[in-house]
Amino acid sequence: MSTTRKTALFAILLILIGGALAAQEYKGKGRLIGFVFDEAGVPLEGVKVKLVSLRAQAGFEVLSDKEGKWVAAWLRGGGWNIDFEKIGYMPKKISADVQEYGRNPEISVNLAKVVGIVITDEVKALLVKGNQLFEAKDYAGAEAAYNEILAKSPDAYIVYRNIGNCYFAREDYAKAEEYYLKVLDKDPKNFDAMLLIGNTYANRGQADKALEWYGKIEFDKIEDPIVLYNIGTSFYNSSKFEDALRYYKRAVEIQKEFTDAIYYTGLANLALGSNPEAIVAFDRYLTIDPDSERAGQVRGFLDYLKKK
């Protein structure tokens, strides 16, 4: 599977928590405190906060209390992905760099309410069921659960995205696009749907169409480093190195130890003839990943650049 396909799929799938061995690898002495609110600033209780260490590729979950507060302790230093999920609200993903021996700044996020879904116990149960089936890769079962929601609540158009994800996971990209477009029919400024449509074209090998859709998304609205990396890679593969660099640099600003984005920052600068900037990126890469096979390649680039 290509890098583009992997990153596109990763952008929409839930991260699976690792086993007992991995669970030990994410532990350290860091601590994060955060608050979750709705769009009006009202605290949200019961928000699932999923934290995953980028180094360990494992983590754990906590819940927000009645004040919207959550606390995560015993974190190793470095980059973490943090997902916020609550039935009836749009999920949100951010990244944070954890300091083990210093005070980390508080994290505050606001979740937007999903318009059109009446959250009855029945609808909630169907959402949970659909999501669980999706995680278990039973995409047909998940689709059936999501369609039940639409049958009971036709205004719940956002569920079309979930159905599209089922087709995306089965690599039926044309059908996935059809469902993502149903979201845009109801909400023409839904950037998430635009991104997902772009991903369908990226995975179909239609880079120009993918970039056309990615170009519809306001740059400042993208806060997910994986998404930024994915878009940057689409530009890179089309030899649009200046555009690619913009997205890679933003991804690294958000997730400072994102080695793939740092590596391609160096390559994009190299392609543009910006050798000093390429050296900075490659040197930075080696401070994070000094021992991998790619690190040997990076050293080769640096030897060449520093001799020029």
CB 142 within 8 A of CB 130: yes
pLDDT of residue 37: 94
Sheet of 69-75: strands edge to edge?
69-75, 27-38, 107-111
Of 239, 277, 236, nearest to 248 by C-alpha is 236
Q: How far lies 186's CA from each of 61, 156, 161, 197, in Å?
A: 33, 10, 12, 15
Q: Is the pLDDT of residue 41 over 60?
A: yes
Q: From CA 73, how far away is CA 204, in angstroms rounded?
A: 42
Mean pLDDT of the chain: 85
Of the given ranges (3-17, 88-102, 167-181), which has the lowest mean pLDDT? 3-17
Q: Is the pLDDT of residue 290 over 50?
A: yes
- What are the start-end ranges of the H helices in the chain? 3-10, 20-25, 121-135, 139-152, 159-169, 173-186, 191-203, 207-214, 225-237, 241-254, 259-271, 275-288, 293-307
Of 198, 254, 246, 197, nearest to 225 by C-alpha is 254
Pairing state between β 69-75 and 58-63: unpaired
Q: Two tokens at 164? A: 């599209």
pTM recorded for the entire structure: 0.63
For the chain, the structural domain boundaries read 9-111, 116-205, 219-307
Q: From CA 31, how far away is CA 284, in angstroms rounded?
A: 25
In the numeric block, the tokens 């980390």 are attached to: 104
pLDDT of residue 120: 73
Of the given ranges (21-30, 111-120, 138-147, 274-283), which has the lowest mean pLDDT? 21-30
Q: From CA 286, how far away is CA 64, in angstroms rounded?
A: 37
What type of residue sits at position 264? Answer: Y
User: Can you tell me whether residue 60 is helix, strand or coil?
Assistant: strand
Beta-carbon contacts of residue 148 (< 8 Å; ≥ 6 apart): 126
Domain 116-205 has CATH 1.10.390.10: no
Cα 281–283–286 angle (5° rounding)? 110
Sheet of 92-98: strands edge to edge?
58-63, 48-53, 78-85, 92-98
- The percent of residues above 70 in pLDDT, for the chain, comes to 90
CB 103 within 8 A of CB 128: no
- Bridge partners (DSSP) of residue 81 are 52, 95
Same CATH topology for 116-205 and 219-307? Answer: yes
Q: Is the pLDDT of residue 114 over 60?
A: yes
Specify the fold of 219-307: 1.25.40
User: Can you tell me whether residue 43 is helix, strand or coil?
Assistant: strand
- The percent of residues above 90 in pLDDT, for the chain, comes to 45
- What's 9-111's CATH class? mainly beta
